[in-house]
C-alpha cells in the first residue's frame, strides 16, 4: 500500500521544484486572504465586496472603523488570530514581490541619471580610457576614480558623496510612491466627486501608513472595491520602501568600509597576521585575508581561510596537469563528481523510501493488508 504513494510523493517534489519560492509565497498570501474573505462572508452575512473590504482593512491593520466583525467571542478570537498571523506574513510577501519592481525601476533611473549628469565616472578610469579591471563600479553616479598603484590608470572608484548616494537610491522609490498615491487620489476623487483631490490624497497617504483615521467615509461598493486594491498596493509599497532604506544603510556602510580599506592600508599587525602558518602568504591566502579585513561574511560568519580550504583541495585534485589552471577535462571531471554525488543521494533516498514501505507493511496487520488488497 505504501509503495503506491511514492509517485505521489515524487509528484509533490516535482511541483515544489516547478513553483519557485516567490510563487509559493504569493499563493500562500492569496489563500490567506481567501480564508478571511470566506469566514467574514459566511459568518457576517456581508456582501462579496464588503466581505473583501473587511478582510483587507483587517489584515492590513488599517481599520477605518466603518465596518468590523460581530461582537461575539468566536469572531473576535478569529480576528485577533487572523491579524497576528496574516498582517506580518501577507504584506511582507507582497512587499517582497514589489521589491523586485522597485529594484528594476531604480536601476533604470540611476542609469538615466548617469547619462544626464555629466561624465560617466563609473566607467572612465580618470585618463579618458575605459578600464575593465577598475574596482568600485556601481550603477548610477559614482565617486572619484583613484590611481592606487601609481601607474597613471585608475584602479578604484570611490563611493559617491552621501547626498548623491541617497538621492539616486531613494528618488525612484519616492517617485513611484507619489505616482501610486496620486493615481489613487485621482480615482477616489472621480468615484466621490464631493471629496476633492487634496482630501483624497490625504486619505491615500493616511492609508499607506496604516493609520486609517476613518475620517473619510467610504460608503459605496465601487469605492470600497477600489480601496481594497489601493490598500494592498500602497501598504505593501511603503513596506518595501522602508525595507529598502535599511538595506541601503547597510550597503552604504559596506561601501565606505571597503573604500577605507582600499585607500588606507591596514596597520602592520593586521598585515603580518595574514601569514597564518608562518611559511609565507600565497595569492589565495592574501585574497581571503583581505576579504576578511573587508568584513566579508559567509552564511552570517566572517569569511576565513578555512572556508575556502575545501575548494582549494578540490582544485588541486582536479588540476591533474599541475599548471594551476583547470582545463576542459578538469571541468568535465568536476561535472562527473557532482553527478555521481547526486546519484548517490538519489539512491540513498530510494533506499530510505523502500525501507519505510517495508517497515510500514511489517507493522500493518495481515487482516488490514487483505482488506486493502
Instruction: Give the pLDDT confidence score for residue 224 in this predicted structure.
Output: 94
Instruction: With a cut of 50, say whether residue 125 has pLDDT above it.
Output: no
How many Cβ atoms from other residues are within 10 Å of residue 319's Cβ? Answer: 14
User: Residue 345: pLDDT band by 50, 70, 90 thresholds?
Assistant: confident
Residue 259 has pLDDT above 70, yes or no: yes
The rounded mean pLDDT for the chain is 79
Closest CA to 294 of 268, 267, 260, 251: 260
Q: What proportion of the chain, given as a percentage, has pLDDT over 70?
A: 80
Question: 41-45, 151-155, 168-172: which has the minimum mean pLDDT?
Answer: 151-155
Dihedral sign, Cα of residue 201, residue 207, residue 209, residue 211: positive
For residue 122, pLDDT beyond 60:
no
Report the SS3 class of residue 298: strand
Do strands 156-157 and 145-146 pair parallel, antiparallel, or not at all (unpaired)? antiparallel
State the average pLDDT over residues 291-320.
81
- The reported pLDDT for the residue numbered 52 is 94
pLDDT at residue 241, as a whole number: 85
- Lowest average pLDDT, out of 24-38, 89-103, 124-138, 350-364, goes to 124-138
Residue 19 pLDDT: 55
- Average pLDDT for residues 174-200, to the nearest whole number? 92
Q: Please provide the DSSP assignment of 211-228 as one string.
A: -----S---SHHHHHHHH
Tell me the range of 104-108, 120-124, 152-156 where mean pLDDT is highest: 104-108
Over residues 252-267, mean pLDDT: 79
Where residue 156 falls among pLDDT bands split at 50, 70, 90? confident
**Quick one: pLDDT band at residue 91, thresholds 50, 70, 90?**
confident
Grid cell, residue 133, equals 579591471
Which residues contact residue 75 at a Cβ distance below 8 angstroms, ignoring those fewer than 6 apart?
43, 44, 69
What pLDDT score does 137 carry?
A: 65
Give 34-37 contacts, CB < 8 A, sequence gap 24+: 35/82, 36/82, 36/86
pLDDT of residue 129: 42
| Predicted local distance difference test score (pLDDT) of residue 130 | 44
Q: What is the pLDDT of residue 266?
A: 75
Residue of higher predicted confidence among 242 and 129: 242
Q: Which residue has the higher pLDDT, 354 or 122?
A: 354
Burial class (CB in 10 A: 0-12, 13-18, 19+), 6: middle
Per-residue pLDDT reduced to its tens digit, 20-42? 676 777 888 889 999 999 999 99
Report the largest interatomic distance among the alpha carbons of the chain, rounded to a whole angstrom.
Answer: 88
What is the mean pLDDT of the segment spanning 78-102? 84
Res 6: pLDDT: 45
342-359 average pLDDT score: 75
- Residue of 320 and 360 predicted with greater confidence: 320
Helices marked H in 19-72? 21-43, 48-59
3-class DSSP assignment, residue 297: strand
Say yes or no to pLDDT of 140 above 80: no
Question: Is the backbone of residue 196 left (phi > 0), alpha (psi -120 to 50) or beta?
Answer: left
Does pLDDT of 371 surpass 80? Answer: no
198 pLDDT above the threshold of 90: yes
pLDDT classification of 366: cutoffs 50, 70, 90: low
Residue 148's pLDDT is what? Answer: 66
For the record, the C-alpha cell of 294 comes out as 573587508
Q: What would the pLDDT profile of 263-303 be if each residue is shown by its tens digit?
A: 777 788 888 888 877 888 888 888 888 888 777 788 878 88
Q: pLDDT at residue 352 above 80?
A: no
Q: List all residues 6 or more positions away from 237 whose beta carbon is below 8 Å from its beta carbon.
A: 95, 98, 102, 176, 177, 180, 208
Amino acid at each position: 500500500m505504501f509503495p503506491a504513494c511514492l509517485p505521489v510523493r515524487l509528484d509533490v517534489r516535482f511541483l515544489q521544484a516547478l513553483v519557485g519560492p516567490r510563487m509559493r509565497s504569493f499563493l500562500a498570501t492569496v489563500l490567506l486572504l481567501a480564508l478571511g474573505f470566506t469566514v467574514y462572508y459566511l459568518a457576517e452575512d456581508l456582501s462579496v465586496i464588503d466581505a473583501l473590504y473587511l478582510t483587507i482593512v483587517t489584515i492590513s491593520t488599517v481599520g477605518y472603523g466603518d465596518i468590523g466583525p460581530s461582537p461575539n467571542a468566536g469572531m473576535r478570537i478569529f480576528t485577533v488570530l487572523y491579524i497576528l498571523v496574516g498582517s506580518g506574513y501577507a504584506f511582507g510577501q507582497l512587499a517582497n514581490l514589489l521589491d523586485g519592481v522597485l529594484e528594476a525601476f531604480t536601476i533604470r533611473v540611476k542609469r538615466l541619471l548617469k547619462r544626464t549628469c555629466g561624465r560617466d565616472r563609473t566607467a572612465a578610469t580618470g585618463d579618458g580610457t575605459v578600464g575593465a579591471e577598475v574596482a568600485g563600479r556601481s550603477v548610477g553616479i559614482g565617486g572619484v576614480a583613484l590611481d592606487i598603484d601609481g601607474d597613471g590608470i585608475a584602479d578604484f572608484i570611490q563611493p559617491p558623496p552621501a547626498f548623491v548616494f541617497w538621492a539616486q537610491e531613494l528618488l525612484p522609490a519616492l517617485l513611484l510612491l507619489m505616482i501610486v498615491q496620486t493615481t489613487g487620489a485621482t480615482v477616489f476623487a472621480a468615484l466621490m466627486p464631493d471629496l476633492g483631490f487634496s482630501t483624497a490624497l490625504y486619505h491615500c497617504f493616511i492609508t499607506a501608513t496604516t493609520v486609517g483615521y476613518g475620517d473619510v467615509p467610504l460608503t459605496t461598493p465601487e469605492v470600497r472595491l477600489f480601496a481594497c486594491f489601493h490598500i494592498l498596493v500602497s501598504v505593501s509599497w511603503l513596506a518595501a520602501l522602508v525595507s529598502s532604506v535599511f538595506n541601503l544603510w547597510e550597503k552604504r556602510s559596506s561601501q565606505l568600509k571597503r573604500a577605507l580599506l582600499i585607500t588606507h592600508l591596514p596597520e602592520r599587525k593586521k598585515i603580518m597576521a595574514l601569514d597564518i602558518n608562518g611559511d609565507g602568504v600565497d595569492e589565495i591566502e592574501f585574497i581571503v585575508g583581505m576579504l576578511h579585513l573587508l568584513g566579508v561574511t559567509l552564511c552570517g560568519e566572517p569569511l576565513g581561510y578555512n572556508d575556502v580550504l575545501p575548494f582549494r583541495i578540490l582544485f588541486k585534485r582536479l588540476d591533474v596537469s599541475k599548471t594551476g589552471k583547470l582545463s576542459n577535462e578538469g571541468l568535465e571531471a568536476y561535472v562527473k563528481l557532482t553527478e555521481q554525488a547526486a546519484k548517490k543521494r538519489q539512491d540513498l533516498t530510494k533506499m530510505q523510501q523502500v525501507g519505510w514501505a517495508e517497515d510500514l507493511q511489517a507493522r500493518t496487520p495481515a487482516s488490514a493488508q487483505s482488506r486493502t488488497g
